[in-house]
Amino acid sequence: MSTRTTSRSQDEKTVRDWGFSHVFTWTDGPHAHYQPHAHSGLTTHLIRRGSMTVTYPRDASPTKETFGVGARVDVPAGKVHEVWMGDEGMPGNYAWSQAVWGRPILLLVILES
């Protein structure tokens, strides 16, 4: 299993440096699936452990792309996307952020096992 070598606080600072000001955490289990959906603002994910697969079902030729530890995945505001977590789940494994009221918000999820 791959895990980032930086600490949770270091990764939170990194994403805050990207312009996201609020940090929240939550846990996704193995193979968690999020049906197609969109967010009103930019979202970003910083994967700390495990993997995440994303597709954009409304694209002309949708494909699935899997991202692993250390990847930053940005999803533009309003873009419909569908997401699956890998075998390890992603409890605390990625940062999710969204711009709300014009201000970016970060959700950094980190697995503490």
Sketch out the chain's domains with CATH numbers. Answer: 8-108 (2.60.120.10)
One DSSP character per residue, 16-83 reads: HHTT----------TT-EEEEE--SS-EEEE--BS-EEEE-TTSSS--EEEE-TT-EEEE-TT--EEE
Above 50 in pLDDT, residue 113?
no
Above 50 in pLDDT, residue 39?
yes
Please report the pLDDT score of residue 77 as a whole number.
87
Q: What is the mean pLDDT of the chain?
A: 76
| Position with higher pLDDT, 85 vs 103 | 85
pTM, to two decimals? 0.77
